[in-house]
Amino acid sequence: MRRWFVGLGLASLLSASALAAAPVVAIPTARATRVERIPLEQLPATVKLPLEGTSVVVTALGGIALDVLVREGDTVKRRQPLARLQSREAMTLGADLSAAQGAYRVAAAQAARDAQLLKEGIVPLARAQASDAARDAAAARVRELQAARAWAPSVQGAGMGVYELRAPMDGRVIERAVQPGGTYDALAKAFVLVAGQRVMLELRVPASLASQVRRGQEVRTAEGATAKVSETAGTLDAASQTVLVRAEGEAGSLLPGMQTSATLWLPAPPDAVSVPDGALRGEGDVLQAFVHTATGFRAVDVTVLARDGDSRRIVRGALKQGDEVATGMLDTLQTRTTAEGQ
């Protein structure tokens, strides 16, 4: 019996020694860091032509397309021929211009003669004024036809009534609306040119966040193209409860008409901080974090605002920049804080 008690005492002593020697597992922690902006992700976006640097070339006169000289994707120089059209109006344009110039010379001579007769008191002032008006109208007609000729320059040796469409600037052809043999009215769209490699994105932003959008904020598409907010609409789309926001930037692999998704960075609230994913416990948008204090760890509720990269989240609540939060053993801390609360 005595040996049994001795053995029992020795076993208890060994067990206590083992517990005393067991290492205390340290709870890993990380600092909550301040964030300046919050990503608004997965916004539907449509790629459009930019406002600046886009030029539409239209047919100056109605007619039939004889030759199309460039293709979509071609780079062109200013005044480079894009297409040739034959027009009935172009056939008579030269004759109309010659007739208008002749009429102007007659009207100018008559106005000068009546001005001299007015000085001599032979004709009344009204006649001189009428002659001046006729001269000015004839001059306006000449300028109109000269502008039409410059807008629809004739092609030497190409036949009667053949004129060229020319590029108004250096750029890239991104749309061709004419084809050989096609008949087109005056002012019909023929080509669209873009200077440089830029596009415009049209985003749909939830109405609740529209007041935070400002010009110059960064936008990044799913393809990696970046842009800056250039326009913020003030009209709400009743069906989707969104507001239209436009941003312009480098095209990259984006083409006008594409549908994609984009991230818009908005200013962060003053109390927003970033913490590792491992520092949060629970489900939904309201989670728990454990803040290290002088006496241990204290559980606090936080609201998730957005993701911050692949391994962190942006939250707000009873956390501030520099707070040390647990990033492991959260279940143990939950059990401990629950027991302490009881």
Residue-wise pLDDT for 195-221, tens only, equals 988 899 999 999 988 889 999 999 999
Q: What CATH number labels 39-52+197-267?
A: 2.40.30.170
Q: Which fold has domain 54-86+153-195?
A: OB fold (Dihydrolipoamide Acetyltransferase, E2P) (2.40.50)
Give the CATH architecture of domain 88-151. Orthogonal Bundle (1.10)
Nearest to 319 by CA among 282, 292, 281, 285: 292
Write the burial class of residue 331 (CB in 10 Å: 0-12 exposed, 13-18 middle, 19+ buried): exposed
pLDDT recorded at residue 38:
94
Nearest to 320 by CA among 31, 14, 28: 31
pLDDT recorded at residue 252:
87
Would you kindly state where each structural domain of the chain is located, as residue ranges?
39-52+197-267, 54-86+153-195, 88-151, 270-341
Q: What is the mean pLDDT of residues 164-170?
A: 96
Beta bridge partners of 83: 68, 165
* Dihedral sign computed on CA atoms, order 137, 141, 146, 152: positive
Nearest to 41 by CA among 188, 203, 278, 248: 203
Cα distance between the two ends of the chain? 43
> Rounded to whole angstroms, how far apart are CA atoms 194 and 175?
9
Q: How do residues 38-96 score in pLDDT, each as one tens digit?
A: 999 999 999 999 988 899 999 999 999 999 999 999 999 999 999 999 999 999 998 89
pTM: 0.68
pLDDT recorded at residue 340:
64
Residue 6 region by backbone torsions, left for phi larger than 0, else alpha for psi between -120 and 50, else beta: alpha
Give the CATH architecture of domain 270-341. Beta Barrel (2.40)
